[in-house]
Every structure is written in structure tokens, then in C-alpha cells.
Chains A and B, each alone.
Chain A
């Protein structure tokens, strides 16, 4: 069955939304401490890290956290490729203009999304827990895993983690895909009657 006009347009909108990943950061982690009146922040891009990474690395050695280096993240290489491919597939769906392909495409998005969040979470877990046993400051039972999303207090630091502009667009793309799938499914049920 063919897609509705709305369905076809949504493909372009989703592709445009995802294109923001190359223009804005996906995620924003803000840190605040008494000694940092202006706060510190780190932005995660699809292919890069931004913000006060060096300063954060300088602080992390006290508690034995590994230093954060862009080179350690293979994600910065394969995530752009995956997203590009996903956007390319969107064009294919647009040309083929079939509901079924649209559902598969949306399903793929969910898989990529879940895997990405899992990957992100495991990085945060690793940084927060894999501490140098010789670290100068050791607080028994303390881990320093920043929140995936939301607020957390860790020693003298408060951390706030939330989507940045491209992150919101990414979430928006997911919402559009879900709504349009539902809409297309309703339409096809109506047509079947």
C-alpha cells in the first residue's frame, strides 16, 4: 500500500531533523561546583566532544576517573555512517513509497536509538565505576556515573545531563516516526474496511 502525502512529507522532515546532528551537539552535560562559578560543561556531538573536556580531565584524576579522549570513541566514526545510511534509506522509502518499508524504516530508528542509548549509558557507567585503585581521593562505595538524563550530585559537583539542540531534534524525529506510523496504520485499516 502507498504512503499518504503526510507520510511522504514526514520522511523529508525526519531526514532534515537528523541533519541537525552535524550542526549542533546531541547531548549536554553541565557541572557545577563552588570553585567553578561559571560552571563547566561538556557537549557530545555525533562525531566530537566539546566544552571544558581538558578541565574536567584535570579534575577527574583526583578520584581516579579515566581521562576522556575523543580518540577513544569508535562511535564518532561509525555513528555518523549509521545515521547517514539511515537517512539514505529514508530517501529509498520515499521513492518506493510503500507503507511497509516505512514501518521497517521506523523500526530501524528504534533499534538505532536503543542501541545508542545503551552504548552511551555503558560509557557513563564505565567512566563512573572503573576508577584507579591508587586514586588520591577514595570515598568508599562512591561511584561517579553521570546521569544519562537529569540531575545528580557527586561529591562537590552537581551534574545535569540533557539533550542539546540536535538531541531534541533526534527525539522529535522519533516522535514523528511513531505518530506517522500510527496514522498510516489507521488509514490502512480504514481503507481495508
Chain B
């Protein structure tokens, strides 16, 4: 009886313990002084700029680290009514393409310009995935200054990645498509569909982009890419999937083969072929849009020619490295010696050796051919495999201390491993299902190695609920010690894919505060209030308007008719830091403007009905901001109200009294 009682007590105790067991929760992951590590006191600055792709919002957002504070959204491929980007006459041409004005895109990857493999902080390159384009953002003004459309391309995904000295921005196609006329049966994929890689040369001084040449490859999906470094300087690497060349139900058909490829491309060799005239000029059409910072005006030019090199005609420039199961990330370590392929369906991470690759190429140690391109033997170029890293490896960044950090989508974690020994040394959960990750400088020769940020695909319960549509979730980890430590969890805008981080010290002191009005070369600048005027040419009305605290001049305008095309060229005469003015007019279906000090921006307005149209400054500029307003009188077409305008003493009807 005593025994029975004892067993009962023990049994109940065991049950209680079982119920006491819980799944690991987020709270238990946060340790130490996380708050102190991310607290940036008022008056202090963040240590890093974090440029984060906006995904489906088509923009680039700028965060400060370690605070996770959003500092700015830079409009790139999508219109931005908030400041008039894509709506003002000056910026409309930026979004021009051969398919007309496209006001949105899907922005995935970013790269900061490099000098000797290190971030120089001059420009930021951004890709548009949907309508293939590459943009250049000036990191002194944080403005999009150039957008280049890519012909012979679809799904500009393995883009924009750089060579070590920003010689080229490389942009590869995710979708293979027929070159030229696309009107062919989809089932003719194998004969007609091609992948292309565009080499965009970058002007050393001004950063201007130009398509130097394109390399045509067999039809497959070029997923991601990276330039070599140091010893592998002359090379570029792409991950591929769908080397099965399926054109339907890729989910199954493109996962059939045990291995796809990492494409190793010797771009120096290709350059030689170009110099010796091996390329073929092909007629194409693509838009090249450039924002001239002097005239403050964008121009869109349609270019008609591109130089194309076909892989089948030129040898010794491309090699295929077998890589398990539809690799996604393709990352090169800071020494340039190791290439990490992340087979997203594989349960291991293969790491390839650049030394072994060059030796195998020299020894012609090939396994076979893929459309005439030599295929390397997996074993002979392999440095080793990271065993059991987790599930669904996607991308790898580096800390510069000999470790790789790989994001694991399926097992929702970051795994830290030793590049030499290939041993997993640490792992931390992410919330939830991490896509890209970013270590500031973690893709360059010189990583800053202090933090890693996880950009997740699923948010669920991370923040206060906001209906079915949620913000995206990011987590910041301190990686300065042996163990990764979660120190911050914060929501992000758009859908971040890849990001770039850079020490604030490289950029912050070069940031433009205002534009020198004396250097304003805008065609419609108004140099001082006395020059303010309204000029009619047919049914076009140009309003030369000035804005200064706290009035717009002229602020009374009469003699404008229904159907007139009215252009408000607003010049902000201020020459003081952070005194922008805004401009908006009633019933304008267009947008509003933000005009920075010393800048001229134009807003078009076509009044549809007679009436009184108030306009005003939309950016609270001063104590008398509410007084910064005026009227446009619109009369029926054909009426004889004369054109009059003015302000104060010169306002119509005032002087007559």
C-alpha cells in the first residue's frame, strides 16, 4: 500500500514536470544587456547606415543600426507622391521605359560601390526585378540619379552585383526568354530561350552606367551572383536553377536533377574577346534615364544597340560547377578563395575552392559539357561541405574573422560556421523564415563584423496586430562575441530582400545639406522674388514661382482657362539647412512637391473646371507656414479674363486702389 502511494506520488510528480515543460520561447532567447546595446541616446547617432531593399514597394529604405530606426525612404522604381518623385516634370523621365512610364517595380538587391573590394560609399546600385532595370543612387544626396533598362532580359534577379573595383555592375536574368522577337511557342524553350548576363560599365568619376556587353548563355534561371575578390578578381559566379529547362510546373520539374550549377565566368577573358572585336552588335531598344544634378532635370534617352557575345562561339571563358539542388545564394568569402553555394533544397552547404577551380581548369579535369560549356567535377573543385547546417540554406555573409553566416529559410535560423574547418559553431532562431541576411560589409573584403540582421519572410505575432496585412520583421544580432545574441526585433517597410550596411563615418560627412541657388541651372529657375512671373504660350502657362518663409510668389494668379496646361516651377529660395517648402493645389490629380533649399521643381496641373483653386505650402516650414498660401483663378475656356499675377502690392486689383 505504501508502495502504491509512493508510485502514485512519483507518477503525479513526473506528470507535473512534463506539463511544466514548454517550447523554447522568444523571451528566453534574449539575454544580457540587449537594451543597452541597441539604445542610441538622444543626440547620438547610429553607428551604421543600413540600406534595405523595399521589395514590392520598389523603393530603398534607410535604417540606422543598432537602433533599427527608419531614417529615410529613397524613391527609386516606384512613384512617391510624398515628395513628388515620378510626378514632378523633373523626375517623370526617370521611370520611362520602352513600354512607357512604369510607376512601380519589385526591388530586391543592393550593392554599395567598391574600391579595392572595400565599400567606398559613393553610390548604391539597386535592381528592378520585374521590368529589368538597374538604378544608381547618389549617396551624397540620397537621390536616384540614373536608371538603365536592360534589353534581352527578364526577371533581373542576379543583379546588381559588382566587380571588385566597380568596373562593372553585373545583371543576370532569372527568366530566360527568346532574344529579339518573343512571339514563339513556349514549348520551344530548349531551342529559343536564352539567359543573358549584362556587364554594365561604371564611369570611375561620375558613376555613369553603360551596357558594355551582354553574354548569352543557355536557357536556365540565373538566380544570384557575386564578383570575385583578390585571387578571384577576374571572375564572376552565378547560381542557377532550372538547368532542367522546364517551362511549366517548375516546382517539380526544375527540382528533378540532383545538381544544378554555379556558373564561373572569367570576365577578364570576356573583356579580351570584346577588345578583339568578337562581339556582335544587335539592334535592341532600351531606356537610359539620367538625372542631371546641375539642371535638376531627368532625361530619358532610348538607346538602340548592344554588344552581344554568345557562349557557343567563344571558349575558355565560362565553366559550370555542379552544385546540389537548385542553389540560391552564391557568395564569395572576404579572401576571395571560397565560393559558397546554398542549395535551397539541400541538407548541406557546399563550399568551393577557387584554387582548386583554377587547377582543375588548367588540367582540363572536366566531367562533361552543358551546351558546350565545360562542367567541372564536383569533388575536384570542392573545398568541403558544411554538414547538417539546418534546412533550406539561402544566403551567406561573412564577419571577416573566418566565419560564414548562412540564413536557413525552412529551419528559420542563422547558422555560423567556420570557413576552413566547415564546422557549425553556433545557431540562433529567427522570427520567422529568414530570407536574406546582412552583415555590414559582409559581402566585401572588409566586413565590419559587429552585427548581423535577419530579414524575415513571415511576421505573424512579432508586433501588435494590424489586420491581415503586417509589416515585415527584422532581427538584429550582436556577433562580436563567440555566440550570436539577439538584441533587437523591429518591423520594416516594403518587403526587404537583400541589404547593405556601411559604417556611418564613410557617408555622413559627405551628405548634402542644401543646393547652392547660385549654381541652380534649371531651365525654369526663378532667381529671386522680383523675377517671379507667369508666362502664357498658347495654352501652356508657365508659373515662375518662388518660395521663401513664409510666402509663395506670385500668390494671386488670374487669367488661366480650363484645359490650360499649367506648370508651376517652384524655386525654393532658402539657403538654410532643413528648410524645405512644399507645393500643392486643389483638385490636382497629380501629386504634391517637396522642394529642397536651392532647388526648382515643377508640378503640372490641367484644371478641368472653372473656379477658385487655392494652393499652399505642404511642409510646415515656419511660424507663418499656414499663411503660405495663394489662389489660382480658373475661367471658362474662351473667356476674356486677362493674365494677371502678383503678390502684396503687385497682386491684381491691389495697385489700382
Residues of A within 8 A of B575 (CB): 54-55, 58
A54 to B548, CA, bound (A): 13
B6 interface residue per 8 A CB criterion: no
A62 interface residue per 8 A CB criterion: yes
A58 to B622, CA, bound (A): 11
CB of A137 within 8 A of CB of B623, answer yes
Kindly supply a per-residue 1/0 record for chain B positions 565-602, scoring 1 wherever the CB is within 8 Å of any chain A CB and 0 otherwise: 00000000011100000000000000000000000000
Residues of A within 8 A of B624 (CB): 62, 136
- CB within 8 Å of A: which of B593-650? 622-624, 627
CB of A55 within 8 A of CB of B623, answer no
- CB within 8 Å of B: which of A98-143? 136-137
Kindly supply a per-residue 1/0 record for chain A positions 133-163, scoring 1 wherever the CB is within 8 Å of any chain B CB and 0 otherwise: 0001100000000000000000000000000
Q: Is the interface of A mostly helix, strand, loop or mixed?
A: loop
B549 interface residue per 8 A CB criterion: yes
Kindly supply a per-residue 1/0 record for chain A positions 30-61, scoring 1 wherever the CB is within 8 Å of any chain B CB and 0 otherwise: 00000000000000000000000011001001
Residues of B within 8 A of A54 (CB): 575-576
Residues of A within 8 A of B622 (CB): 62
Our count of residue pairs bridging A and B at CB distance below 8 angstroms stands at 19
Residues of B within 8 A of A55 (CB): 575-576
**Shortest distance between the CB of B378 and any CB in chain A (Å):** 60
A122 to B623, CA, bound (A): 30
CB of A58 within 8 A of CB of B574, answer yes
Q: Which residue of A lies closest to B549 (CB)?
A: A58
Q: Which residue of B lies closest to A37 (CB)?
A: B43
Interface residues on B, range: 10 to 19
A137 to B549, CA, bound (A): 13
CB of B576 within 8 A of CB of A58, answer yes
A62 to B624, CA, bound (A): 9
A55 to B622, CA, bound (A): 13
A62 to B625, CA, bound (A): 12
CB of B576 within 8 A of CB of A62, answer no
Q: Which residue of B lies closest to A52 (CB)?
A: B576
A54 to B623, CA, bound (A): 18
- CB within 8 Å of A: which of B86-145? none
CB of A62 within 8 A of CB of B548, answer no
A136 to B627, CA, bound (A): 10
Q: Which residue of A lies closest to B622 (CB)?
A: A62
A47 to B549, CA, bound (A): 30
**Shortest distance between the CB of A63 and any CB in chain B (Å):** 10
**Shortest distance between the CB of B64 and any CB in chain A (Å):** 18
Kindly supply a per-residue 1/0 record for chain B positions 522-563, scoring 1 wherever the CB is within 8 Å of any chain A CB and 0 otherwise: 000000000000000000000000001110000000000000
**Shortest distance between the CB of B190 and any CB in chain A (Å):** 65
Q: Which residue of A lies closest to B578 (CB)?
A: A35
A54 to B549, CA, bound (A): 13
Interface centre among A54, A58, A136 (most CB of B within 10 A): A58
**Shortest distance between the CB of B168 and any CB in chain A (Å):** 41
CB of A62 within 8 A of CB of B574, answer no
Residues of A within 8 A of B550 (CB): 136
A61 to B574, CA, bound (A): 13
CB of B548 within 8 A of CB of A58, answer yes
Residues of B within 8 A of A136 (CB): 550, 623-624, 627
Q: Which residue of A lies closest to B574 (CB)?
A: A58
A58 to B551, CA, bound (A): 12
Residues of B within 8 A of A62 (CB): 549, 622-624
A61 to B622, CA, bound (A): 12
**Shortest distance between the CB of B595 and any CB in chain A (Å):** 16
Residues of B within 8 A of A61 (CB): 549
A136 to B575, CA, bound (A): 21
**Shortest distance between the CB of B189 and any CB in chain A (Å):** 61
**Shortest distance between the CB of A134 and any CB in chain B (Å):** 10
A58 to B621, CA, bound (A): 13
Residues of A within 8 A of B574 (CB): 58
Q: Which residue of B lies closest to A35 (CB)?
A: B578
Residues of B within 8 A of A58 (CB): 548-549, 574-576
A49 to B549, CA, bound (A): 23
**Shortest distance between the CB of A80 and any CB in chain B (Å):** 28
The 19 sampled A-B contact pairs (Cβ below 8 Å) are: A54-B575, A54-B576, A55-B575, A55-B576, A58-B548, A58-B549, A58-B574, A58-B575, A58-B576, A61-B549, A62-B549, A62-B622, A62-B623, A62-B624, A136-B550, A136-B623, A136-B624, A136-B627, A137-B623
Contacts A54-B575, A62-B623, A137-B623 known; list 16 others, CB within 8 Å. A54-B576, A55-B575, A55-B576, A58-B548, A58-B549, A58-B574, A58-B575, A58-B576, A61-B549, A62-B549, A62-B622, A62-B624, A136-B550, A136-B623, A136-B624, A136-B627
